[in-house]
Amino acid sequence: MYKILKAKDLASNIFLMEVHAPRIAKSCMPGQFIIAKVDEKSERIPLTICDYDRENGTITIVVQKIGAGTEKMGKLKEGDYFRDFTGPLGEPSEFVKEDLSELKNKKILFVGGGLGTAPVYCQVKWLHDNGITPDVVIGAKTKDILILEEEMSAASNLYVATDDGSYGFKGMVTGCIEDLVKNQGKEYDICVTIGPMIMMKFVCLLTKELGIKTVVSMNPIMVDGTGMCGACRLIVDGEVKFACVDGPEFDGHKVDFDQAMKRMQLYKSEEGRALLKLQEGDTHHGGCGNCGGDK
């Protein structure tokens, strides 16, 4: 059992929880995720880590209510418990594997959209703790659904974009990136973008045009989180990958976003899953040959 030490709302239908999970906190790294389960009968929900505290043994997650499982999770309060809280899973951000002296010479841009701001924060905080202050663009439709602005501002050079212009830059995050590069003379060696699939697609189209290497997190398409369900199968540079076991981060310029988004829609129905299984054969799930999902 994993005790919830803090539970608070961040915006409409978005909430934050701090969970006591010392074994995960001891070894997790930015970019990785956990799988949470409210009780024995609940669905498994993969969530990218927003923050961690090794000394206090805590993991922070940010969740959006989008279905029965997350609605049930949202009813938990401080002092309640998760039945399961498993991790860390997935591959860490490539930053944590780099030489710090070389990393400090890089000009880094992060772009977070909606709930994607939470996993962006984990990486930004790690960089800041290691003496690196990146630029960050976070976007939302309106000001009242922005999250983690104060925390992000303390760890980065923050730029905010709202679709309706109610706060910060008026327009989408792509417009803000163009403004930074073309009007303010900013230069970047690498961009990390996390958020809705459509947002990541258009950020990648822009950064490819601008010549900026870009990393994306494909956490939004994960369901089971172990490679067995086949939900997060995607094509990267012409090869089959699974976000949960091969990622969740990939070279954004090599991800086939159109295929991934179309597949995500099909996967939502039983008929769609049956069609995908027929079309994809051995690579529908378990195609990696390691997870046993094809047995």
Please return the burial class of 254, using the count of CB atoms within 10 Å of its CB with bins 0-12, 13-18 and 19+.
middle
Please return the burial class of 81, using the count of CB atoms within 10 Å of its CB with bins 0-12, 13-18 and 19+.
middle
DSSP 102: H
User: The CATH number of 100-217 is which of 3.30.70.20, 3.30.360.10, 3.60.20.10, 3.40.50.80?
Assistant: 3.40.50.80
Per CATH, is 2-86 categorized as 2.40.30.10? yes
Distance between CA atoms of residues 25 and 18, nearest Å: 11
Q: Within 10 A of 190 (CB to CB), how many other CB atoms are there?
A: 18
Alpha helices (H) in 95-172, listed in sequence order: 100-103, 117-129, 149-155
- pLDDT the model gives residue 233: 81
Q: Looking at the chain, which residues constitute the CATH 2.40.30.10 domain(s)?
A: 2-86
What are the contacts of 60-63 at 24+ separation with CB within 8 A? 60/16, 60/17, 60/18, 60/19, 61/16, 61/17, 61/19, 61/34, 61/36, 61/118, 62/10, 62/14, 62/15, 62/16, 62/17, 62/115, 62/117, 62/118, 62/147, 62/148, 63/14, 63/15, 63/16, 63/17
- pLDDT the model gives residue 291: 42
Supply 35's token pair: 């799988």
Q: Looking at the chain, which residues constitute the CATH 3.40.50.80 domain(s)?
A: 100-217
Q: Phi, psi at residue 26, to the nearest 5°?
A: -70, -30
Distance between CA atoms of residues 159 and 143, nearest Å: 13
State the amino acid at position 260 in one-letter form. Answer: A
- pLDDT the model gives residue 285: 58
Per the CB < 8 A criterion, the answer to whether 236 and 279 are in contact is no
Beta bridge pairs of residue 62: 16
Would you write out the chain's pLDDT as a tens digit for each of its 295 residues? 999 999 999 998 999 999 999 999 999 999 999 999 999 988 889 999 999 999 999 999 999 998 888 999 999 999 999 999 999 998 999 999 899 999 999 999 999 999 999 999 999 999 999 999 999 999 999 999 999 999 999 999 999 999 999 899 999 999 999 999 999 999 999 999 999 999 999 999 999 999 999 999 988 777 766 666 667 788 999 998 988 888 899 999 999 998 888 876 655 556 655 665 666 666 655 444 444 444 4
Supply 221's token pair: 């398409």
